[in-house]
Copies of this chain bind each other. A is one copy, B any other.
Amino acid sequence: MTDFRKAAIQYAHENQQRFLDDLKEFVSIPSISTEPEHKGDLQRAAEWVANRLRALGVEDVQLFPTAGYPVVYGNYMKAGPAAKTVLVYGHYDVQPVDPLELWQSGPFDPQVRGDNLYARGASDMKGQAMATFAAIEAVKCNGGLPVNLKFLIEGDEEVGSPGLGEFIASHKDLLACDLAANPDTGMLAEDFPTITYALRGLAYFEVRIYGPSHDLHSGLFGGVVHNPAQVLCELVAAMHDAQGRVTLPGFYDKVRSLDQEERQELSRLPATEAFYLEQTGASALWGEVGYTPVERIGARPTLEVNGLLSGFTGEGSKTVLPAWAMAKISCRLVPDQDHQEVYEQLKKFVEMHAPKTIRYEVLNLVGSPASISDRRSGGVQAMVKALETVWGKRPAFRREGGSVPVVGEFQTHLGIETVNFGFSLPGDNAHSPNEKLHLPTWYRGIDALIHFFYNLAE
C-alpha cells in the first residue's frame, strides 16, 4: 500500500465521528419527494449537498432546476486531462415515513442505537452519498485526487426520476466522463461485499374502477350493481397465473433469458430461502415457478400491488357499496422490457378483462428502464479490488431487484458504464419504518471507496 493510501485510510478513521455528525445533519432534513408539502425540505437538502461539495473544494457547484427537484452539479478537474473522470451519482430525497407509529424513534431525529444509526435515508441513500464525500475528502487531503470528479445528485429518485433523463440528454458535455459511480445499491450481508451489475426498471400505475355514480346503500342496491371493489379484486387476481407468472399480454416477450453460466454464478450468492424468510418475516416464500429466489428478484420481472383503497376502511362497519376502487400497481422490469410497452400491456389486459358494468382508468405514473453492465470493465474491476482489500474476500456479483433509473439513462445518453455498489444491508429497512445504517459496515465502505479512487488511477 502506498503511503498516501495508508494516510488517507488513517485520516478516514480519525474523522469517523465527524463524518457521522455530518450524516446526522443530512438525514435530519425530511426530504420526502413523494409529498409536495416537503418541497422546502427538498430545497434545503439540495443546498446541504451543494455546501458539502463546496467544503470538499468542488468547483462550479450549482443547482440546476428540473421539472422536479433541482439537480446538484459540481466538478473537480484538477487531476488533469490524462486522468479518468468519474461521475458520482446520488440522490438527496427519501421515501415517505408512514406508518409513522411503527418507528421507534422519529424518522428525522437520527439516533445511534448499538451499531446502527436510525433515520429515514440513513441507508437509502444519504449514508451512501456521505460515505463517498468522506472518502473523497480523505483522498484529497492525502496527496490529492488521482481522478477528476463530476457530481450529479438528484432529488427525484424516490419518485422514479421523471425529469432526469431529459436533464442528462440536454447536458451531455457538462456530464461527459469515463464512467459513473453509483453508491445506491447494497450488500448481500455484512461480510459479503457486493457489486450490482444489473438493476431492474420500474413501471408504476394506478388502476381506477368506477361503478355507481355515488356510494350506495349495500342493502338497497346490493345484488343489482357490480361492486367496483369486487371488479378490482377480480382484475388484480387475474394478473398472475397459478405458476406465479404475470399474465399481462406480451409481458415476457422481451425478457432477456438467463444463460447457464450466469445462473451458475447467481447460485453462488448466499441469498438462500432461509435468508429471505428471515429478512421478510413471511411464513413461506412465493414466486415464479422455475427460478430461484435470487433469479426471481434480480433477473425476472414482477408485478406488485403497492396499495388498495375502496369504500369504508375505518373501524367498525358501514354498509356501503362503494362508488369506486383503486389499486396502485407496479412492475419491476428486466432487460429488454420497455416501461411504455408494459403500460400498453396493462391497458390491454384491463380492456380484455374489465366487465361492461364498470368504467376504468389506467394511469401511467412512473417509468424507468432496467440496466445491465459489463462485469469485466476497468471501473468494476477497480471496485472489485477495493472491496477485496477491505473485506479480504472477492465481492459477489448480483443482479438487483430495485431500480436506479439513472443507470439506464447514463448508458443511453452518455454512453458510459456505471459501477453500482453501496454499503447498506438487506435488514436496513429501506422504504420501511426504522430505516437504519450499520455503522461498522459504513466505515468499511469509506475505506473501500478510498481504495477505489486510487485503483482507478493505477
Contacts and interface: CB of A to CB of B under 8 A. Distances in A.
B300 A317 contact: no
Interface string A69-80: 000000000000
Nearest to A99: B215
Given A213-B281, A317-B366, A222 B401 contact: yes
A401 B219 CA distance: 5
Contacts of A36: 315
Contact of A432 (B217, B306, B325): B217
A376 interface: no
Interface string A218-253: 111111111101101110111110000000000000
Given A401-B221, A402-B219, A214 B305 contact: no
Interface stretch (A173-181, A357-365, A442-450): A357-365
Contact of A297 (B35, B220, B237): B220
Interface in A303-356: 304-322, 325-328, 330, 332, 355-356
A400 interface: yes
Contacts of A232: 233, 308
Interface string A420-448: 00000010011111000000000000000
A304 B321 contact: yes
Contacts of A158: 318
A32 to B, nearest CB: 10
Nearest to A234: B237
Contact of A311 (B223, B305, B314): B305
Nearest to A299: B223
A211 B282 contact: yes
Nearest to A160: B317
Interface stretch (A104-112, A133-141, A285-293): A285-293
A15 interface: no
Contacts of A365: 316-317
A34 interface: yes
A308 B297 contact: no
A307 B312 contact: yes
A293 B221 CA distance: 9
A314 to B, nearest CB: 7
15 contacts: A35-B314, A211-B282, A214-B281, A222-B401, A224-B276, A224-B296, A230-B237, A234-B237, A282-B357, A284-B356, A305-B322, A307-B322, A308-B310, A308-B311, A318-B431
Interface of A: 34-36, 95-96, 98-99, 102, 158-160, 186, 200, 202, 204, 211-227, 229-230, 232-234, 236-240, 276, 279-288, 293, 296-297, 300, 302, 304-322, 325-328, 330, 332, 355-359, 365-366, 400-403, 426, 429-433
